Amino acid sequence: MATGESTFAPAAGAAPLPRMIRAQAALETRMLLRHGEQLLLTVVIPTLLLVLFGGVDLVDLPGDGAGDSSRVDYLAPGVLALAVLSTAFTGQAISTGFERRYGVLKRLGVSPLPRWGLMTAKTLSVLAIEALQVVLLTSVAFALGWSPRGGAPAVLAVLLLLVAGTAAFSGLGLLMAGTLRAEATLAAANLVFILLLVGGGVVVPLDKFPDPVRGVLELLPISALSEGLREVLRHGAGMPWGELVLLAVWAVLGLTAAARFFRWD
């Protein structure tokens, strides 16, 4: 029998990097979809807020004189911003914080998948969940009479706002998860979610707050995202450069701080 390399000789080694990232992203997405508490935060709460405040006169919103449809026109962009906050910040901070506590990140950090590849996979998972949220929330909003403006050019502006908002909230969520204990991350992330829900222009208009407080709230990433989406989808404005720049600044600051201070164990 001739010698030489066997047809069935093992070829040990890591899979190609893109395949590893795709596999990890798919795993992260499945884990999020199977987590009941995360689904409550990312899907149920934004949907209930849209239905409740879109059909019941609980908050005096701008444009109420035109009927319920005007309320939905105001609320839908804010609820889309809240969905990004719940997934990219709150949900990611809590899940990553507990993965760090139980040593999952430490083990993944020494796997063939590089650490930046793991963060990329987590980001892709967040974007996949957000895509599902957008489909669900826009379907509910249309059923309630939502009439977005801007046409096809608005799609690019909305996508840029959502991506910039995701980057900003992801950086802040990873910073929290990588520096605080898991229990502290759980409490702080939920508290921030509630505070930004109330004071981020999602449901309560920012002009309801006193001028000094409003000036501070307008600098928050949730305010920039909700107001930017509202300008495009409710008023049919062009590219909201001011809000995009503010979100980009938050993204750079958050991601840079997360890369600098994140602890894997």
Q: pLDDT digit string (tens) for 92-141?
A: 999 899 888 888 887 877 777 777 788 788 888 899 999 999 999 999 99
Percent of the chain beyond pLDDT 90? 40
What angle (nearest 5°) sits at the alpha carbon of residue 82, between those of residues 80 and 85?
120
CA angle 149, 150, 155 (to 5 degrees): 115
The model's pLDDT over 157-209, given as tens digits with 9 standing for 90+, comes to: 999 999 999 999 999 999 999 999 999 999 999 999 999 998 888 888 888 89
Cβ 240 vs Cβ 231: under 8 Å: yes
Distances (CA, A) of 149 to 16, 95, 137, 230, 235: 44, 36, 16, 10, 7
3-state percent helix, strand, coil for the chain, nearest multiple of 5: 75, 0, 25
Rounded mean pLDDT, 32-49: 80
Strand spans (E) along 66-153: none
Q: Which amino acid is at 239?
A: M
Q: How far apart are CA 117 and CA 57, in angstroms?
A: 47
Mean pLDDT, rounded, of the chain = 85
* Spatial contact of 28 and 104, defined as CB atoms under 8 Å apart: no
Contact present, 52 and 27 (Cβ < 8 Å): no
Q: Residue 62 — very low, low, confident or very high, per pLDDT cuts 50/70/90?
A: low
Asked if pLDDT for residue 210 goes beyond 80, the answer is yes
**pLDDT at position 20 over 80:** yes
Which CA distances in Å does 46 have to 3, 8, 25, 63, 236?
66, 53, 24, 21, 23
Q: Mutual orientation of helices 221-233 and 68-84 as an angle, nearest 10°?
A: 140
**What pLDDT does residue 55 have?**
63
CA distance 77 to 118: 31
With a cut of 60, say whether residue 3 has pLDDT above it. Answer: no
Residue 231, pLDDT above cutoff 50: yes
The region of weakest confidence among 28-32, 47-51, 96-100, 232-236 is 28-32
> Per-residue pLDDT for 243 more than 60?
yes
127 CB-side CA count, 13 A: 15
User: Which DSSP category does 207 fall into?
Assistant: G
